[in-house]
Amino acid sequence: MNEEKSEGKSNLSRRAFVKGAAAIGAGISLAGVLSGTKPGAAAAPPAKGKSTLQFAAPKMDKVRIGVIGLGARGSGAVDRLSQIEGVEITALCDVRPRCVEGAQKTLAGRGKPKALEFGKDENDWKNLASSKEVDLVYTPTPWYLHTPICVFAMEQGKHAATEVPAAISLDECWQLVDTSEKTQRHCMMLENCCYGENELLALNLCRLGILGDLVHGEAAYLHDLRGYKFASEREGGYQGLWRLKHSMVHTGNPYPTHGLGPVSQYMGINRGDRFDYMSSVSSAQLGLTAFAIGKFGANSPEAKQTYKLGDMNTSVIRTVKGRTIMVQHNTTSPRPYSRLNLISGTKGILADYPLRVAIDSDSWMSDKDLEDFRVKYRHPMWKQVGEVAMKVGGHGGMDFVMDWRLIYCLRNGEPLDESVYDAAAWSSIGPLSEVSVTNRGKSVDIPDFTRGMWEKVPPLPIIGA
């Protein structure tokens, strides 16, 4: 991303900047996020349908996909999905005509037929989700659109897949669960990090018992996004500065799932164990203001704006079985990228960034031993799909493996690896962390989105391609 230096001058007027913040605040207000999320208020509402925890939809010879949102993530998804057998991208939607045109060129370049086009206004996505030419609605849009699109799509009889987080309030989490149960349609949160090579290695070790009984995990999203948050779309930033505006209105951990998803699967969350309660604290907010001063000047609207998101958030989750998970979030400090990805048991530990493993020892394996260990315990799915995935690309291949596995399950009538209950539980840490932070770290109960079914379902098995 190329950033243009501004000598004390902002590329936004004060009025426009504040107006934008007010708009996103109205759409995802603090009151809406905290609705029904007071400490201790974790009771599940009455079910509106049958559990979909092990739901398997009828086999589909061909999966017809409509993609809503064709920015960086959406355009990449079109390219990946168009290379998977059994996929036909039948519809594209974006309010920016150039993005639709770019996606059509991608399809043409892959020798695929032209897709239907939507995007004449901000509600035209509903026409895509209603189309008889679409089986799966794939949603790489800003956060606040994820739940509305998925709920509407399922109500139209479509399966839904959304970028992370799937929901930004507890109300939205329950909407996803209730709608999936009522319509008997899949709703998958596209947590690509569950399909990374090291994450699948860790999952394999956990299922084989190499690490013993699991005790503790650590997960994070530590990613310096200051430049992206303040950059215009032309500069490579977020359209409408929506992610920056979220930081003005909310605190806590708004983006927990990249690190938390894999650790949750290691521990069998919603499949033999579940989240019980959590506590969360945040540091002061300094990073966004300092960056704004450096880029726009001390008297700029950006520098004078109030940002509620603390630079570092640390949350601790305790599960019903007594395991603990530390989850961290920091997108406003100059530091190397990390998701931590640590899992510790009674026989050993795996930690990432960089990858380290110790089995029945207080010392990490040597580089040679580690490489031999990785080869021996490489996950069977990565063995079979990983080489192709790395050629296609997408975060080291994990994006392709995720998409490939989703399509495989739909075509073969198998349950998905990531259920709607995972989407709800992992996403719920966002609003619940905000509740805890604003209550001086007071513990908050985490709802059982499975309504007790977690006790009846075995952990995610080791599967091949």
Beta 356-359 vs 313-319: how paired, if at all?
unpaired
> Any idea how long the chain is?
465
DSSP state of 273: B
Q: What sign does the dihedral 314-428-208-387 (CA atoms) show?
A: negative
Residue 42: its pLDDT value, please?
Answer: 63
Residue 43: its pLDDT value, please?
Answer: 79
Residue 394: its pLDDT value, please?
Answer: 87
CB burial of 155-179 (b: ≥16 within 10 Å; e: otherwise) equals: ebebbbbbbbbbbbbbbbbbbbbbb
Helix (H, G, I), strand (E, B) or coil at 128: helix
Residue 465: its pLDDT value, please?
Answer: 59
Instruction: Give the residue among 460, 121, 6, 134 at the shortest CA–CA distance from 267.
Output: 460
Q: Is the pTM value of this prediction over 0.85? A: yes
Residue 22: its pLDDT value, please?
Answer: 46
Q: Indicate the class that CATH gives domain 194-379+419-456.
A: alpha beta
Residue 18: its pLDDT value, please?
Answer: 43
Segments of the chain with pLDDT less than 70: 1-42, 465
Residue 23: its pLDDT value, please?
Answer: 43
Angle at 409 between CA 404 and CA 415, to 5 degrees: 135
Residue 34: its pLDDT value, please?
Answer: 41
**Segment holding 391, helix H or strand E:** helix 380-392
Beta 348-351 vs 342-345: how paired, if at all?
antiparallel
Residue 360: its pLDDT value, please?
Answer: 98
Residue 27: its pLDDT value, please?
Answer: 40
Distance CA 29, CA 27 (A): 6
Contact 166, 189 (CB under 8 A): yes
Q: How far is CA 17 from CA 55, 98, 290, 301, 403, in A?
A: 45, 25, 18, 7, 37
